[in-house]
Amino acid sequence: MSNLHHIVVVGGGAGGLELVTSLGNRLGKKGKARITLVDASLTHVWKPLLHEVASGSLDANANEINYRAHARKHNYEFQLGRMGGLDRSAKEVVIDAFHDDEGQEVVPERRISYDTLVIAVGSTANDFGTPGAQEHCLFLDSLRQARRFHNLMLNAFLRKNHEAMQGKEHALNISIIGAGATGVELAAELRLASRELPVYGMNHLQASDVSISVIEAADRILPALPGRLSNAATRELERQHVKVLAGQPVSEVRENSVVMKDGTELPSEMTIWAAGIKAPAFLSDLDGLEVNRGNQLVVEQTLQTTQDADIFAFGDCAACPQPESERPVPPRAQAAHQQADALYKTLCNRLEGKEAVPFVYNDHGSLINFSRYTTVGNLMGNLSGRSMYIEGKVARLFYLSLYRMHQVALHGMIRTGIIWLMDRISRAMHPRLKLH
């Protein structure tokens, strides 16, 4: 076992988990290489679903993948811990000590040797140094944060419902800073929650008592997407009685309010930051690897880091060039999926002494889901520079297929079909919202 080529993948997000699954199924199963996944969590939930976990429209327990169980089934190893450093001369990854919720050390700091290292640690929220953001905002970077948000939301609804019963002022103001895909979709999910929860005993609090605002510094929401999508999203949010505040940079976040650059102060009992992302800070100090201003590891088109051909990086944590474009590959789930596929081919080739596969990003379009209300999007964004606008049930079908494609990559077609059937049964048997 020790003589086998050791591929270590740090980060079990969508791309990292898909990569180790493919490598394990081919190289690990046949004894051609040893595959190890390192992650700071015990379970995986597809990150684009975290806003649904936060609102309660998705039960994370039914959609989690346990890394240890998945590793056993797909012929790779799993190490629990957070990457804290790198020794390139010794070809070792430093894993920080792991502590439990009480602060007790469970596993001490350790080192894992590698022959090939892949870094896929994703991204974290970027608050751009906005005063009060860290102290007073909620974030949705992880499953733990999504669950915390869900509990706080339920408690806020309970508190306001009780105040309504007593005839007190009971308006609940929720602000979402950042109107990218996450912020827009979260707003729709929260509006659904405000309409569904009164059905379950909170009938003194009405949806009209819950004010939801989406705040965007750019002059329109979804600024990275085509204008037609932005306009359709604005109309849908306004139809759902969500306030859209575009062209409104935030200068400060306070305990119960958000202050705009022009001095306007917006009441806000719950404030969610969804305005931007950056790569984790520790990447800027990894034994001389090159990073950009956003802490992303700079990589070649082969996804190899510029300073070390044995270290690869992909996903949100990597700045990958695009042919004939000044902009790097965008930090999107479809990009990570495509990079995982290209990197799988490259790593298999490396064991056979073949060339690396250059990565070329293909933009298949964008889809924005407004909970159970509607879905809008454009498809095939890179084909001859043209795209096809879709909405409604057809767009919803394409949106759902993205998650099913991720499940197929992790479980195979047959098991994904079984999971889909179980999901249908679960939705028929359980409340439309998670109530605890």
Domains of the chain, residue spans: 5-123+279-351, 127-276, 364-430
Tokens for 61?
């327990």
Q: Does residue 221 carry a pLDDT above 90?
A: yes
**What CA–CA distance (Å, rounded) separates 284 from 279?**
9
Q: Does residue 1 carry a pLDDT above 50?
A: no
**What CA–CA distance (Å, rounded) separates 20 from 430?**
33
Q: Does residue 224 carry a pLDDT above 70?
A: yes
The neighbouring-strand residues paired with 37 are 9, 78
432 CB-near residues (< 8 Å, 6+ apart): 57, 196
At 382, the pLDDT band (50, 70, 90 cuts) reads: very low
pTM of the model: 0.90
Query: Which class is 5-123+279-351 in CATH?
Result: alpha beta
Q: Does residue 436 carry a pLDDT above 70?
A: no
Q: What does the pLDDT average to over 61-80? A: 93
* Fold match, 5-123+279-351 / 127-276: yes
Percent of the chain past pLDDT 70, that is, above it, reads 96
Q: Tell me, what's the pLDDT at 63?
A: 83
Q: Tell me, what's the pLDDT at 423?
A: 80
Q: Does residue 104 carry a pLDDT above 60?
A: yes
Whose structure tokens read 């948000």?
149
**What CA–CA distance (Å, rounded) separates 34 from 49?**
31
Q: Does residue 226 carry a pLDDT above 90?
A: no
Q: Tell me, what's the pLDDT at 58?
A: 82
Q: Does residue 186 carry a pLDDT above 50?
A: yes
Q: Tell me, what's the pLDDT at 3?
A: 85
Q: Tell me, what's the pLDDT at 18?
A: 96
What is the average pLDDT score of the chain?
91
Q: Does residue 381 carry a pLDDT above 90?
A: no
Q: Does residue 387 carry a pLDDT above 80?
A: no
Of residues 184 and 324, more confidently modeled: 184
**What CA–CA distance (Å, rounded) separates 389 from 200?**
37
| Range 127-276: architecture per CATH | 3-Layer(bba) Sandwich (3.50)
Residue pair 168/75 in contact by the 8 Å Cβ criterion: no
At 373, the pLDDT band (50, 70, 90 cuts) reads: confident
Residue pair 217/260 in contact by the 8 Å Cβ criterion: no
Closest CA to 320 of 344, 298, 291: 298
Of residues 334 and 214, more confidently modeled: 214
